[in-house]
Amino acid sequence: MRTYSALALLREGLSGHRGWQRAWADATPKPHYDVVIIGGGGHGLATAHYLAAEHGISNVAVLEKGWIGGGNTGRNTTIVRSNYLWDESARLYDHALGLWEGLSDALNYNVMFSQRGVMNLAHNLGDVREGKRRVNALRLNGVDSEWLEPAAVKAFCPPLEVGAAARYPVMGATLQRRAGTARHDAVAWGYARAASARGVDIIQNCEVTGFRREGGRIAAIETTRGSMTAGKVGMVVAGHSSVLADMAGFRLPVESHTLQALVSEPVKPVLDTVVMSNAVHVYVSQSDKGELVIGAGIDDYLSYAQRGSFPVIEHQMGALLALFPSFSRLRMLRGWGGTVDICPDASPIIGRTPLDNLFINCGWGTGGFKATPGSGHVFAHTIARGEPHPLAAPFGLERFTSGRLIDEHGAAAVAH
Amino acid sequence: MLLIVCPHCGPRDQTEFSHGGEAGRVRPANPEVLGDAEWTDYLFMRTNPKGVHKERWCHSAGCRKWFVTGRDTRSHGWVK
C-alpha cells in the first residue's frame, strides 16, 4: 500500500493523477479464515483492522452483502460525541472519541474529523436540570462538558433563535467541545484500506445465507459466494442482527426501525457547530460541502425498507425552522433511510452469544457512527481473547437476564 | 406515509395511529415459576422479522380501537 502524503499528492498532481492505486484489494473468498467478520460497515471494518493491527490476526475476512459504505455507515448524520450519562456508556463512547482524535494519522487516511463541538439545547426547566446533571456526571467521568447560559449559547451559535418570544425558548445548553463530525464514507474506506494492507480480505457482494452448526459452534458459513469455515465469527450487521441471529438459532432483544435524515442544498458556511434539541427532536450540522445535514428520530414501526415516512420529515423541519428561522428558504436536496437496531435500553450489545465461537456486536441503534473506532477496538479484543474487553464487559447480552441494563433512553442527550 | 385500515373507521393516515409493537406476546400466567431465561424472553426478546410482522396499532386520534394487523417489513405492504 502506498502511503498518502502531501508529497505523493504533489507527485501525482504533476503526473496527471494516473499513479493512484485502488484503496483496497477486491478479494475472493478463501475456504477458511481464522476470523470471519459478517458486515462490512464501519464497525465491522474497524474490528478487522484492530484484529490485524493489535492482535496479530490477519487471516480475516469481512463479508459485506452490498458494497463498502453502502449501509448505515453511509446513511447517518456523521455526528461524533461522547456525552452519555451513565458511567459504562461514558467510558465506552469516550474511548471511541479518543481514537477518533488520532484516527486520520493511524489510518493514513483523512477522515475529516472536525471537533466543532456539539451543543444540546434545553427548552424547559426539566431540560435544564437534566442538562446540568449530565454535565456534572460527564465531568466526574473525565469527559469534557460545560453548561452554557442563553447569552453564551447565542454567542457560540449566532444563527440560533434564543429570544424569549421564540417558539422553543432556549434556556441554556450543554456543550462538548471535543465532539463534532467526521466524513462517514472516509471512515469506512480508511478502515477498509488499512485492514486490506494488513492482509484482511474485504469481500463485497457476499451475503450470508445460513450457518452450519455443530456442537454449539458455527462449523461453516454459507454465503452467496460459497461456503467457508472459520475459527471465530463476529456478527456486526446492525439492522439485520435479528435475521442473522435467527439463522444461528437464538433470539435478540433488538427491533429494526428506519432512521432517516436529509440534506439541504449546499450554502456558504452558516453553522460551524452541531446543534441538537432533545425536546423538539431535531439535530443539524453543516457538511464541508455546505449542505445542512438534518436528522431526527426513528419511525416508530418496524421496517427493513431503508425508507422513512413523511410525518417525521415534517416534524423535524418544523422544529428546525423554529430554532433557525433563517433556514426557511433553503430547499431540501435529498433524504435517505437506514435500518437501525434498537435495544430496549438504547445501549449496544457487545460480547459472546449462545454459540461458542460466535461473537456479536449490535444494538447501536441511532448512535452507532460516533462509536465506530471504539466499537471495533473493543470487539476485536473480545474476539481475539474470547472474553470481553473491560469497557465492553457491561454490554453483554446477559445483561437482559441479569437485569443490569444500561438505560440510556432519554439520558443519552437525545431521545431515541 | 402509511395508509392504515382501522377496522372501525376505514383507511386513515398513519399520523392518527400509535404503534403498539409485536402482537401475540402473552404475559406468562405464573411469572413466579419462570426461570430467568423464560422471563427474559417474554420481557425483552422480539421476533423482529424481515417479512410479515403481526403488530398492534391503536387508532389513538380516532376511535381509539386497538387492533392487530400483518405488515411486510420489507415493503410496508399490508398482509392478512
Q: Is residue B27 part of a domain?
A: no
What is the average per-residue pLDDT within A376-382? 98
- Domain final position from A342, A364, A379: A342
Q: Is the pLDDT of residue A413 over 50?
A: no
- Cβ B44–A400 below 8 Å, yes or no? yes
Comparing CB atoms, the residue among A251, A301, A305 nearest residue B45 is A251
Comparing CB atoms, the residue among A305, A311, A401 nearest residue B74 is A305
Sign of CA dihedral A169, A287, A184, A6: negative
Q: Is residue A109 part of a domain?
A: no
Query: What Rg do the C-alpha atoms of chain B give, in angstroms?
Result: 15
Q: The domain containing residue A240 runs over which residues?
A: 29-78+184-254+345-412
A263 & A169 share domain: yes
Q: Which residues of B fall below an 8 Å CB-CB distance to A?
A: 1-2, 14-15, 18-19, 21, 36-37, 40-41, 43-50, 53, 55, 71, 73-76
Q: In this predicted structure, what is the pLDDT of residue A415?
A: 47
pLDDT class of A165 with cuts at 50, 70, 90 = confident
A324 & A349 share domain: no
What is the average per-residue pLDDT within A380-397? 97
Cβ-based contacts of B43 with chain A (< 8 Å): 344, 400
**What is the domain count for chain B?**
1
- Three cell numbers, residue A280: 423538539
- How would you class A194 by CB atoms within 10 Å of its CB: exposed for 0-12, middle for 13-18, buried for 19 or more? buried
pLDDT tens for each residue of A290-314: 999 999 889 999 999 999 999 999 9
Comparing CB atoms, the residue among A252, A310, A344 nearest residue B1 is A310
Q: The domain containing residue B9 runs over which residues?
A: 1-21+51-79
Q: In this predicted structure, what is the pLDDT of residue A169?
A: 93
- Contacts of A318 by beta carbon, 8 Å cutoff, 6+ apart: none
* Element holding A98 (H helix, E strand): helix A87-101
Q: In this predicted structure, what is the pLDDT of residue A119?
A: 97
Chains A–B, number of C-beta pairs less than 8 Å apart = 63
pLDDT tens for each residue of A221-245: 999 999 999 999 999 999 999 999 9
- Three cell numbers, residue A270: 452558516
**What is the domain count for chain A?**
2
Q: Is the pLDDT of residue A374 over 80?
A: yes
* Element holding B43 (H helix, E strand): helix B36-43
Cβ-based contacts of B2 with chain A (< 8 Å): 301, 309
pLDDT tens for each residue of A314-330: 999 999 999 999 999 99
A359 & A308 share domain: no
- DSSP secondary structure of A194-209: HHHHTT-EEE-S--EE
Is residue A384 within 8 A of residue B28, CB to CB? The reply is no
Q: What are the average pLDDT values for consecutive 10-residue runs of chain B, which has 80 residues?
A: 95 96 94 93 96 97 97 94
- Three cell numbers, residue B48: 423482529
Q: In this predicted structure, what is the pLDDT of residue A414?
A: 52
- Pairing assessment for the beta strands A349-352 and A358-362 based on DSSP bridges: antiparallel
pLDDT tens for each residue of A66-80: 999 899 999 999 999
Distance from B40 to chain A by nearest Cα, in Å? Answer: 5
Q: In this predicted structure, what is the pLDDT of residue A416?
A: 43
Q: What is the CATH number of the domain that holds B65?
A: 3.30.2270.10
Q: Is residue A149 part of a domain?
A: yes
Tell which residue, A371, A295, A283, A341, has the closest CA to residue A84.
Answer: A371
Query: What Rg do the C-alpha atoms of chain A give, in angstroms?
Result: 21
Residue of chain A minimizing CA distance to B20: A301
Which has more confidence, A2 or B74?
Answer: B74
Distance from A414 to chain B by nearest Cα, in Å? Answer: 21
A196 & A336 share domain: no
* Element holding A194 (H helix, E strand): helix A184-197
- The secondary structure of residue A346, as a DSSP letter, is S
Which percentage of chain A shows pLDDT scores above 90? Answer: 94
Q: Is residue A354 part of a domain?
A: yes
Is the ipTM reported for this complex over the cut 0.85? yes
pLDDT tens for each residue of A342-365: 999 999 999 999 999 999 999 999
Q: What is the CATH number of the domain that holds A70?
A: 3.50.50.60
Is residue A335 less than 8 Å (CB to CB) from chain B? no
Q: In this predicted structure, what is the pLDDT of residue A256?
A: 97
Identify from A207, A301, A406 which residue to disrupt to test chain B contact, counting B C-beta atoms within 10 A and taking the largest count.
A301
